[in-house]
Structure 1
């Protein structure tokens, strides 16, 4: 390498020479670079000799670091001028080197697909001949759990989802520096998801409810009791089959033993009635799993989820973890490294290794969650980004930095926080304000300060339903409790709804309803103002950036606003019904329908272009289900005072006084539809000051 080389000019004619083997992962990353080069220069790049860019593995004397996945850029003086050598220590090193080139030279954003952000077209690019050496990531095994991915499932017609759906997910993960993935939740083994992830160079890991990635016991052996005590040979058969199937791939094996359906195993096997018995069985099973893997895999990488009851038993000293196994500690689903809430039980036991804990540790972290209570599924993380920074920084500080698995959900609604987590797993630290500014500046060419404030104010406006800083409501808060309220109400029950105590406390049902109504109504003005500001900012953007802001943020604000209004309205309907004000309750229930429907319409507006049908499988928050519940409540209310002819309210409140005493029934037999009746009653009562 000669000192003082001039820069390298890259243009449409620049050739590439790949001197590694053409493995499947290399083929995939090369196809990305081909597409990126064409997007920038308008032509497919030339591949072969006399190239300006050489891609190869490291050899003695190179600048390439000697740790796994390391890469470097070196410039050499070739016959036709300066040449860039992209050098990788191993296959992933080559992949990361090429993607670093795509990002820093060609200008392709890691989230180019998800943000609909095409690189700028150029005639040529001057690359200064300055060597670059990659920095080792803070976290060795880092990636996404694509979980509760119903939007990805419903986006296209094919099930299980095809390469068209998974390719952008895995590409974005690699571009963010991730190297590990759980590719979906309980999808058919015939799907392409795991195979494609492996072919793109990623490590595969498993859901803690599916140890070793094995088939669920009751699915493989229907009708048999899922008891390891009774059927150890059947459990081990499933584990052996899973090992055989995956032993040639890069696997972070998950060791675990939970019951079917992701619950404590003793719910299926009540003989294990003490912590000692439970811990002893889990320890023996995990050791067995580890030994089975070690028989067929040289130096296997293994992890064990310290999740729920397993973390509790471990801290009590009842579980032994094999040497070298990474212990995964999980947050509570809302970003706090404490035990998660189960129903109304919220112990908030710290979920991190204690000082002096031996062995390797890591973190399973949620930026999106689904728990039928207050989680964020269609909307982004409801608390501040600083909470994420603080919690992951604290985890790293106590040694839980060997592994970071981020629950990424459906990807599209969570780019902001996924980007933040990528910086944390790369650098081990982050400044929340600086990261937000960088994120916004990548996606928007103007109005950057205003958009930064929108993101900051978003977290300030989420409902703070409890005493802790992570007690912030996502979109499910407006829907699951609302449906519980309607169901309890229409079942004729007036006792406390035990499924709502986690939020409202152990008070009477009417007081629970009032609590939810108050929380929702208090939040409405803030969301209205934020939406107004967001629309004003969007109006000042270019069409492309206006659409990006709508898809990335405005739709989420609309879901919160419509959700708050819908929840407040259905609670008001129950309160009016409670005092037998049925027409007023009918009107409130109608507003609930209209408000929740506005959320559906917001999703429909966001699902345009490449996102067509993206939200049609909204099965978890399930706005349509909430609308149906409110429609049922409205029909119930109309039966209370307008039955059987559905004409009494019209006669009492809407018919002119001069007509009430002289009309003929044969001319008034077409009752108003619910929406029309509600609108006219609403106008009537408002004008009368009711």
Structure 2
């Protein structure tokens, strides 16, 4: 390229020519580019044939790769003294979409998570860059995307239900900007919602939950009162499947073939006639074959997959299920990032969940960077393990041949931007330098203190509770809440036997020892979280107001959820110990401390709900911090009834009333007992000043 011909300039008045037909996916992509151009230059883009940017399908001689979704940027018409024309060339419809979004990212400077990170592109009067051609690199994974699962925050964010385009459009846009092409748009949402339609309109392949094969309606919803038995009602099941196929036959669909029971459980729990692995495997094999044949009646060369999940993986590995070779077999991690079978209650077999070398055909992965399991999962907070672990597990999966498909459980998006960005890098390149990726991720969002912010992210995983012997046994936010509520319920039911619901973590031991185990785990982690929060607050004060808010919304709120959760769990365990010792006033104070600590976590969510995030966390129905607070408040009220009833004045008289008044006051002058909070605060100070060992569990 000669020196006179090496630069390309784009300005507010530059003209775009969309030569390709304005299909719905291209129309949506153009809306994104129009908004991006306007955000950068302050004016909507112009359209016309005398254009600086031409958008079109590939032609012979373009050198655009032959693989699906490929694109390239070509600078044509380089004549001395003349501005070259940028041609954004796509092999197919999605190729054009990705080409436009590559232009947005690399030339207009729009971040893939611009909306979720509140990261507006820099204002410019003109952009000048070398006119160097670009050819896209084929992604490592053919079908790659997100499962928007356990998405209660997205559901409750706005008043409308099911969520409208206002909620879904930023989700699908971010996925496309990350190079994704596939989505499960939500979990068991009303079919009247826009989620499926909008996803297909934006060019995404839609796939299905493994409990809803072919995207069909649940049997018991369609036929309430009937037994959900395929052997008894094959025609009814097949009618639902056919209806789903007919409705979606013209969309981009990765068809899920499967057969599980209603409510995402083994079908034989409702159909006990299938009482052997051979019988169960034979039925699944026949049903999948039937579904496969039905899809091929309507769709030429359909893309089909089957989830090797739970009992299906066990039956398949035991040789009881046969799967046609061109069906993609999907292997799942355990919810904590490890490619082994997931824990069910207290059963944790950890069977390897990857194809064997002799297992031919196509394979893929369903992977969790967020999870909900009523035990120790991360729902409101980031993946609790090290990012190197995520990279290691996915790279190992690709090495085993599971690279045709990668579906990442993305939850509510906002708390998981870092890990979603990391997995996008992995599905694109197949590998990554985790340290370099972290610095690039931080560098995109913060102008200063980048090393310090990177260190906060780096230390995050080191602070999480290691509750078991395995590298993936790391606790997320639910660890502080579901077990705590189980402890409080077991306690108030008057039970002292081992709580079987806690065996997965604390082992099968007396209840008091289970409680002590949780207290010790939380106490060991509290100092690290407190130190990390202090570091985060210091860094935030050194940032601009905008970037400080970004760090709070993306990271500090999560640190506070861990710290407040640790302290709340410690306090409720101490309350139980004091209760067993007969120290009801001290137990009452500890239970009150649990209320206050958990409330700090709720306040952190409220503080993060600024601007566009107003009400984002109001539907916290899964971790459910408010529910934990109510449990702890019930415990302290119970304790006060035990020791301060009936007039709620005994503890005041014993511990707080001046000695000069204690024996001469008149009952009718003390009719307004202290509130629980006020009494607990004053007792807390009183007990903290004692040195005679009155409260055995105080420290």
Fold shared by both chains (TM-score > 0.5): yes
Paired with 1:196 and 1:100, the residues of 2 have a C-alpha distance of 22
User: Counterparts in 2 of 1:294-313, with a 5 A limit?
Assistant: 294-313=296-315
Paired with 2:374 and 2:58, the residues of 1 have a C-alpha distance of 50
Which position in structure 2 is the counterpart of 1:9? 9
Which position in structure 2 is the counterpart of 1:162? 164
Deviations 1:353-378 (A, max 9, x none): 01121100000000000000000000
Q: Matched residue of 2:73: which SS?
A: strand
Which position in structure 2 is the counterpart of 1:90? 92
Deviations 1:19-62 (A, max 9, x none): 11111111100000000001111111101111000000001111
Paired with 2:246 and 2:274, the residues of 1 have a C-alpha distance of 31
Paired with 2:449 and 2:374, the residues of 1 have a C-alpha distance of 37
Which position in structure 1 is the counterpart of 2:458? 456
User: Counterparts in 2 of 1:448-487, with a 5 A limit?
Assistant: 448-487=450-489
Which position in structure 2 is the counterpart of 1:181? 183
Which position in structure 1 is the counterpart of 2:334? 332
User: Paired residue for 1:128, among 127, 130, 154?
Assistant: 130
Q: 140-149 or 70-79: which moved more?
A: 70-79
Which position in structure 1 is the counterpart of 2:120? 118
User: Counterparts in 2 of 1:572-651, with a 5 A limit?
Assistant: 572-651=574-653
User: Paired residue for 2:421, among 406, 416, 419?
Assistant: 419
User: Counterparts in 2 of 1:399-414, with a 5 A limit?
Assistant: 399-414=401-416
CA contact under 8 A between 2:485 and 2:628: conserved in structure 1? yes
Which position in structure 2 is the counterpart of 1:567? 569
Deviations 1:248-275 (A, max 9, x none): 0000000111111101111111111111
Paired with 2:155 and 2:593, the residues of 1 have a C-alpha distance of 32
Which position in structure 1 is the counterpart of 2:58? 58
User: Counterparts in 2 of 1:634-673, with a 5 A limit?
Assistant: 634-673=636-675
The alpha-carbon deviation at position 127 of structure 1 amounts to 2.5
Paired with 1:428 and 1:599, the residues of 2 have a C-alpha distance of 37
Which position in structure 2 is the counterpart of 1:555? 557
Paired with 1:166 and 1:193, the residues of 2 have a C-alpha distance of 7
Which position in structure 2 is the counterpart of 1:495? 497
Deviations 1:140-196 (A, max 9, x none): 000000000000001100000000000000000000000000000000000000100
Which position in structure 1 is the counterpart of 2:356? 354
The alpha-carbon deviation at position 95 of structure 1 amounts to 0.2
The alpha-carbon deviation at position 431 of structure 1 amounts to 1.2
CA contact under 8 A between 2:6 and 2:132: conserved in structure 1? no
Q: Matched residue of 1:451: which SS?
A: helix
Paired with 2:651 and 2:302, the residues of 1 have a C-alpha distance of 73
Which position in structure 2 is the counterpart of 1:261? 263
2:365 maps to 1:363:
yes
Which position in structure 2 is the counterpart of 1:676? 678
The alpha-carbon deviation at position 3 of structure 1 amounts to 11
Paired with 1:562 and 1:626, the residues of 2 have a C-alpha distance of 12
The alpha-carbon deviation at position 78 of structure 1 amounts to 7.0
Which position in structure 2 is the counterpart of 1:22? 22
2:333 maps to 1:321:
no
The alpha-carbon deviation at position 323 of structure 1 amounts to 2.5
Which position in structure 2 is the counterpart of 1:242? 244
Structure 1 spans left out of the alignment, 5+ residues? none
Q: Matched residue of 2:364: which SS?
A: strand
Deviations 1:77-115 (A, max 9, x none): 179631000000000000000000000000000000000
Which position in structure 2 is the counterpart of 1:443? 445
The alpha-carbon deviation at position 76 of structure 1 amounts to 0.9
CA contact under 8 A between 1:180 and 1:205: conserved in structure 2? yes
Normalised TM-score (structure 1)? 0.99
Paired with 2:12 and 2:671, the residues of 1 have a C-alpha distance of 75
Classify 1:2/1:194 alpha carbon distance in 2 versus 1 (closer, same or farther; 3 Å): farther
2:37 maps to 1:40:
no
Q: Matched residue of 1:81: which SS?
A: coil
Classify 1:287/1:4 alpha carbon distance in 2 versus 1 (closer, same or farther; 3 Å): farther
Q: 653-662 or 295-304: which moved more?
A: 653-662
Paired with 1:278 and 1:216, the residues of 2 have a C-alpha distance of 20
Paired with 1:677 and 1:423, the residues of 2 have a C-alpha distance of 54
Paired with 2:59 and 2:687, the residues of 1 have a C-alpha distance of 83
Paired with 2:70 and 2:451, the residues of 1 have a C-alpha distance of 36
Paired with 1:57 and 1:321, the residues of 2 have a C-alpha distance of 37
The alpha-carbon deviation at position 551 of structure 1 amounts to 0.3
The alpha-carbon deviation at position 658 of structure 1 amounts to 1.4
CA contact under 8 A between 1:5 and 1:77: conserved in structure 2? no
CA contact under 8 A between 2:296 and 2:302: conserved in structure 1? yes
Paired with 2:550 and 2:3, the residues of 1 have a C-alpha distance of 45
Which position in structure 1 is the counterpart of 2:71? 71
Structure 2 spans left out of the alignment, 5+ residues? 695-699
CA contact under 8 A between 2:5 and 2:78: conserved in structure 1? no
Deviations 1:593-635 (A, max 9, x none): 0000000000000011010000000000000000000001011
Q: Matched residue of 1:72: which SS?
A: strand
User: Paired residue for 2:374, among 367, 372, 382?
Assistant: 372
CA contact under 8 A between 1:497 and 1:509: conserved in structure 2? yes
The alpha-carbon deviation at position 665 of structure 1 amounts to 0.5
Paired with 1:2 and 1:46, the residues of 2 have a C-alpha distance of 29
Which position in structure 1 is the counterpart of 2:523? 521
The alpha-carbon deviation at position 7 of structure 1 amounts to 1.5
Q: Matched residue of 1:105: which SS?
A: helix
The alpha-carbon deviation at position 4 of structure 1 amounts to 7.2
Paired with 1:558 and 1:644, the residues of 2 have a C-alpha distance of 38
Classify 1:501/1:83 alpha carbon distance in 2 versus 1 (closer, same or farther; 3 Å): same
Normalised TM-score (structure 2)? 0.98
Paired with 2:508 and 2:560, the residues of 1 have a C-alpha distance of 31
Q: 179-188 or 73-82: which moved more?
A: 73-82
Paired with 1:256 and 1:571, the residues of 2 have a C-alpha distance of 44
The alpha-carbon deviation at position 2 of structure 1 amounts to 10
Which position in structure 2 is the counterpart of 1:382? 384
